[in-house]
Amino acid sequence: MDIKEFEKLVGSTYALLEEEYGIMNEIRDMIVLSEERLKEEETSRGTLDEEMKRARSEIAVIRRNINTTIEE
């Protein structure tokens, strides 16, 4: 592999990583929106049903995973 091929490979790798980072940020934004909607629902109803509690728990796990991935 010559230097030009190496530079091209590195450049395309960085471009791919930037794209993935952007997608992760979009997912994080969707998580925030979902959490806000669950809070609104809890406020309006006074409580969440079991399905919504499960959703909140799953969203928290996804949030931790996304944040860990973005920080690495």
What is the span of the domain harbouring residue 57? 3-71
Contact status, residue 31 vs residue 62, Cβ threshold 8 Å: yes
What would the pLDDT profile of 45-69 be if each residue is shown by its tens digit? 999 999 999 999 999 999 999 999 8
Tokens read off for 54 = 């499960």
Contact status, residue 33 vs residue 55, Cβ threshold 8 Å: no
Tokens read off for 12 = 């395309």
As a residue count, the chain comes to 72
Structural domains in the chain (count) = 1
* CA separation for the pair 11, 17 (Å, rounded): 10
What would the pLDDT profile of 13-23 be if each residue is shown by its tens digit? 999 999 999 99
* pLDDT given at position 2: 87
Contact status, residue 12 vs residue 20, Cβ threshold 8 Å: no
